[in-house]
Structure 1
Amino acid sequence: MNANSTATAIGLTSPFEKLSFFPNSSNLILAHLHEIIFSFVFYQLSFSIFAPFLNRVVFRKHYTTIRDPLLKIDFDVHTVSMIQAVVSNTVLLPTLTTPMHYNVVTYTDSYSSMVSSLSAGYFIWDLTMCMRYFKLYGIEFTGHAIGSVYVMLLSLRPFCQPWIGRFLIYEASTPFVNINWFIMQCNAKSKNSIPLWFNVVNGLLLMTVFFIVRICWGTIASALLFKQMWKVRDELPKLSAVTMMSLNIFMNFLNVLWFKKMIKIAKKLAKPAPISKLD
């Protein structure tokens, strides 16, 4: 199957294609390097300028009175994560029309490469933040960032490009994760500043969406991808295939671990407060 003719047939073309620094390069990382750089710069500007501004406007004293510099950084990082989730969930939609049976070794199109590049730029930025503030984010988030950077760059080999959007759809749960974090921070600073009903609704949506897209779909998608890889096992780059499968298992393990933490927190919040007795 000719990748270029297939890409034209389903209309997946990067709108930034003409801005490439290396338009004639057969190396997809070089051909889409401008999108990786643009994405990294965009999220750095979001962290330095847009996030602090939005947080001052939206959260007001809950943000402006923060004295712990690490907490303020965490606030800004969560806001950038929110921006990225909106961008990612929007740009990935056209890639979901790419048939899953396309060859995971040979298929590529410029739009899917763009989605990978924009995501790579974000995860490179995310990795720099995890490394810079390792005390804040620890091994779990750093490992997640490393794995995400590797997968996005690996897809520009190309490898598994028909599956890019189908794995990035995990980000559908991210807005609810961030909203839950913001609620906890606001309520910690000023008790019951966020209505209980809003907290409950977001918590239910968070657990439902997380379970559907990361646990259920994540497991199914990994199994289907492994099946596709097995069909073309003679063409597979062995190291890339083993690494991709290992990272899928690792990511699914992390998702289960995080979901268990959500259940634990939900149970804790559901317990009625102890009633004090007056003698």
Structure 2
Amino acid sequence: MRDPFPISSPQWLSEAVQPWADKMSLPTLPLHIHEIIIALIFYQTINVVVAPALSRRLFPQAYNSFNRRTRINWDVHVVSMVQSLLVNTTALWIMYYDTERNSMNWAGKIWGYDGALGFLQSLAGGYFIWDLFTCTYHIDIFGVGMLMHAISACTVFSLGFRPFLNYYGPVFILYELSSPALNMHWFMDKLNMTGSIYQLINGIVLISTFFFCRLVWGSVNSVLVFKDIWIAMQNGGVVGLDQNLGLKYGLDQPTAAVTPQDQPFFGSEDIMRYAGARTLPAWLALSYLASNIVLNVLNWYWFAKMIEALRKRFDPPFGTKRPEKKEKAVAVEEKTTEPEIEIQRGLYDDGRKTIEITGTQGTPPAVRSRRRG
């Protein structure tokens, strides 16, 4: 399938980036550099213009009460929401309509390329570059960990312009199907909807999409990636030379190299034209497999932490929320005692009578008085 973006990269821009692309072995980058830049500008516009204006209109009291840190986080989550909806929709569209992609065998899955897959790669790459800039500028808020994640994401997605594993681009983009629910969960916390029925429903959606999209779907396709790379390595790292194997174009049948003009979006392309010698460097295969394993382990860890965080927001038996500690009003009872009076009569040596009265009242010590009669 051809690139669905209606504007081609300007020649001057492609020529400007060509030397760097040649040096880094990224032959398809000049075809999509304009899409990366446009995506970067689009996400930044959402962040600094659309998100603040829309939030002040929809949630004026809450948004205006946020401090600087929370407001920046809010705007970043708005960008994340837009990006996840955009790339998920694009990925599903490509997986359904891209006939060249759906016809790829294992060689096409590793080295194959078409314009639609490059377009999706550009949308994701533009977002991760924006994320890298944002994490660098606001490192005091997002920290070193998020910065390292942004650097890693940019590095991994840049490999798609070799091209490498473009077939699996839409597959792993669908990890992002859980992101809208994750962002909604964060928004609800900031809008004082923590523990509400709406957050409970959203939490169920979040757990379900995360489990099926990242843990089930992601793990199964990771195994398929390992399988394709293993086959390539068993072929000595060079494939596509024996036409009897049907590998010349990465398809069972060769296809036309040019899309008919009356089909601007749907048509055939020579998907292996950037595959070169069809070599698979060991460092590339091993680094990708290692990062994939690490990501899958992290997904299981995040899943457990996500369930733990959700349960803290709800009451038992499903949740683990503890009742808020309320200050107990300590009633101070004033202890009163009945006065105790003791009267003693006596007689002095000279014959005078005496009366001795001893009494206690309340908390004061005993009061003794003596009266002579």
Structure 1 272/132 Cα, relative in aligned 2: closer, same or farther at 3 Å?
closer
Do residues 74 (structure 1) and 73 (structure 2) align?
Answer: yes
Match of 1:16 among 1, 5, 18: 5
Whether the aligned pair in 2 keeps the contact of 1:107 and 1:158 (CA below 8 Å) is yes
CA contact (8 A) 1:169 1:213 kept: yes
Cα drift, residue 131 of structure 1:
1.9
**Paired position in structure 2 for 1:216:** 216
Q: Find the residue that maps to 2:43 and give its secondary structure.
A: helix
Q: Which amino acid aligns with 2:122?
A: S
Structure 1 residues 127 and 250: CA distance shift in structure 2, 3 A? farther
Distance 1:48 1:272 in 2: 36
- Residue type matched to 1:274 in 2? P
SS at match of 1:158: coil
2:105 to 101, 107, 112: 101
Tell me whether 264-273 or 149-158 shows the greater mean CA deviation: 264-273
Give the aligned partner of residue 7 of structure 1.
Answer: none
TM-score between both structures, scaled by the size of structure 1 = 0.86
* 2:201 paired with 1:168: no
Are 2:116 and 1:116 aligned? no
1:1-279 alignment, distance < 5 Å: 12-16=1-5, 18-22=7-11, 27-66=27-66, 68-97=67-96, 98-99=101-102, 101-103=105-107, 104-187=109-192, 192=193, 196-233=196-233, 234=237, 235-269=279-313, 270-274=319-323
Deviates more, 1:173-182 or 1:56-65: 56-65
User: Hey, what's the Cα distance between the residues in 2 that align with 1:105 and 1:214?
Assistant: 21
Q: Residue 131 and residue 272 in structure 1: after superposition, are their counterparts in 2 closer, same or farther (change >3 A)? A: closer
Residue 63 of structure 1 aligns to a residue whose secondary structure is: helix
After superposing the two structures, state which structure 1 stretch, 127-136 or 215-224, moved more. 127-136
The offset of 1:278, in angstroms, is 7.7
Tell me, in whole angstroms, the C-alpha distance in 1 between the residues paired with 2:294 and 2:46. 29
TM-score by length of 2: 0.65
Contact 1:144 1:251 in 2 (8 A): no
| Separation in 2, partners of 1:117, 1:208 | 28
Distance 1:264 1:195, change over 3 A: closer
Structure 2 unaligned blocks of 5 or more: 19-25, 238-278, 314-318, 331-373
Q: Distance in 2 between matches of 1:134 and 1:146?
A: 13
CA distance in 1, matches of 2:64, 2:77: 16
Q: Once the two structures are aligned, what percentage of the paired residues are identical? A: 33
Q: Distance in 1 between matches of 2:229 and 2:296?
A: 18
Contact 1:40–1:124 under 8 Å retained in 2: yes
Residue 21 of structure 1 contacts residue 33 of structure 1 at CA under 8 Å; is this kept in 2? no
Q: Do the aligned partners of 1:95 and 1:164 also contact (CA within 8 Å) in 2?
A: no
Change in Cα spacing, 1:127 to 1:254, as seen in structure 2 (3 Å) is farther
Q: Is the 8 A contact 2:132 2:150 kept in 1?
A: yes
Question: More helix per residue: 1 or 2?
Answer: 1
CA distance in 2, matches of 1:225, 1:62: 45
**Greater percentage in strand:** 2
Distance across 1 between alignment mates of 2:94 and 2:221: 15
- Which structure has more RCO (C-alpha within 8 Å, separation ≥ 6)? 1
Displacement of 1:144: 2.9
Q: Is the 8 A contact 1:21 1:30 kept in 2?
A: no
Following superposition, the deviation at residue 263 of structure 1 comes to 1.4
Count of residues paired in the alignment: 262
Question: Are the aligned partners of 2:9 and 2:34 in contact in 1 as well (CA < 8 Å)?
Answer: yes
Give the C-alpha shift of residue 195 in structure 1.
7.7
Structure 1 letter corresponding to 2:302: W
Task: Give the C-alpha shift of residue 180 in structure 1.
Answer: 0.3
| Higher mean C-alpha deviation, range 38-47 or range 86-95 | 86-95
Structure 1 residue identity aligned to 2:124: S
d(CA) in 2 for partners of 1:260 and 1:21?
A: 47
Shift of 1:272: 4.9
Residue 92 of structure 1: SS of its match in structure 2? helix
The amino acid across from 2:282 in the alignment is K
- Distance of aligned partners of 1:179 and 1:82 in 2 relative to their CA distance in 1, 3 Å threshold: same
